[in-house]
Amino acid sequence: MRRVIISAFFLIQLIGIIYSRFMEERYFCWAPFDQISLYEIKSTVNGVVFSPEEIKSRYNLQGNGRENRSIHHVFSIIKQYEESYGKEDKVVVKVIYSTNGKAKEEWNFSTE
């Protein structure tokens, strides 16, 4: 039974590595420091522009930060928050980011 549990434990990890090939996020696939994304989050909640401290408090993410795995982790966290804990709020979120020093891009999310 012990060997079965351990084998399943390793199989889960192997599945995670293979599955990540089809995903933009990099959770559970042993991909540390695969990308370096510098980002800035601009969030307006119910018409109020949030400060970096308020953004940190809301999403547990730095308002101006760095993501060392995948920028899609930032998107995923913001989206999940706004669709669950913050679903009563009207928000407009813009993430301005650059991955590996390439041209800046924008990701937008809105519930208005």
* Chain residues in the site for other proteins (CB under 8 A): 1-3, 5-6, 9-10, 13-14, 16-17, 20-21, 26-36, 38, 59-61, 66, 69, 73, 76-77, 80-81, 84-85, 99-102
- At closest approach, how far in Å is the CB of 41 from other proteins? 13
Question: CA-CA distances (angstroms) from residue 99 to 25, 35, 86?
Answer: 14, 7, 28
The identity of residue 5, as a single letter, is I
- At closest approach, how far in Å is the CB of 49 from other proteins? 22
Q: Residue 32 or residue 47: which is nearer to other proteins going by CB?
A: 32
Q: How far apart are CA 2 and CA 68, in angstroms?
A: 35
Q: Residue 21 or residue 88: which is nearer to other proteins going by CB?
A: 21
Decide: 66 and 74 in contact? Cβ < 8 Å: no
Beta bridge partners of 16: none
- At closest approach, how far in Å is the CB of 77 from other proteins? 5
Decide: 24 and 70 in contact? Cβ < 8 Å: yes
- At closest approach, how far in Å is the CB of 70 from other proteins? 10
